[in-house]
Amino acid sequence: MNQLESILIAHREIALLFSILCNILISIIGVIPSVFLTALNVKLFGFVGGAVVSLIGEAAGAIAAFFLYRHGFRKWINQHAARYPKAERLLHVEGKAAFLLVLSLRLLPFVPSSLVTLFAALGKMDWLSFLIASTIGKVPALLIETYSVSEVLNWSGTGKVILGALSVILLLYIWKQKRK
């Protein structure tokens, strides 16, 4: 990991491209958290630069995933959606309503990004509206993520509180899962 970091520090243009490509891959896969890539971006480019690179990468990743999901899953979903009437309604939202839905879902921190992209791609939303709503919606969450990562990397008092809170949440989650 240190060798990769050294190479990326020495070649910033490669680091920029590497980050964007990794974000695209993370968005397509849909289950890998991007916080680790945000941490690398903050370390390499600083707070503002890291946030900008992360936003560009997440926007590129979201639109790449949108097109892949749209062309890869649309026919299958349309054939099987009737089995799930509530989910089927989401597939028919369009125009301003679709824009506002994607924007609001991106603002919610615990809604998986890949699900928002999947439903938008399989629905009637056009790609440009998706890109704009998705990117605007990602800004607040990404700024919070970038700030948190920056504080943890700097090992500030706030960073210690963030790590402590995340540890407690993780322990509670594990405890709750074991009780089931």
Average pLDDT, the chain: 83
CA angle 35, 52, 160 (to 5 degrees): 40
123 or 65: which leads in pLDDT: 65
Q: Quick one: what percent of the chain has pLDDT higher than 90? A: 21
Confidence tier at 49 by pLDDT (50, 70, 90): very high
165 or 1: which leads in pLDDT: 165
In this prediction, residues 48-62 reach a mean pLDDT of: 93
What is the reported pTM?
0.76
112 or 80: which leads in pLDDT: 112
Q: 3-class DSSP state for residue 61?
A: helix
Instruction: With a cut of 80, say whether residue 120 has pLDDT above it.
Output: yes
Burial of 37 (0-12, 13-18, 19+ CB in 10 A): buried
Can you give the residue ranges of every domain in the chain? 2-179
2 or 167: which leads in pLDDT: 167
pLDDT digits (tens, 9 = 90+) for 121-130: 888 889 999 9
Q: How far is CA 132 from CA 58, 60, 78, 106, 128, in A?
A: 12, 11, 25, 11, 6
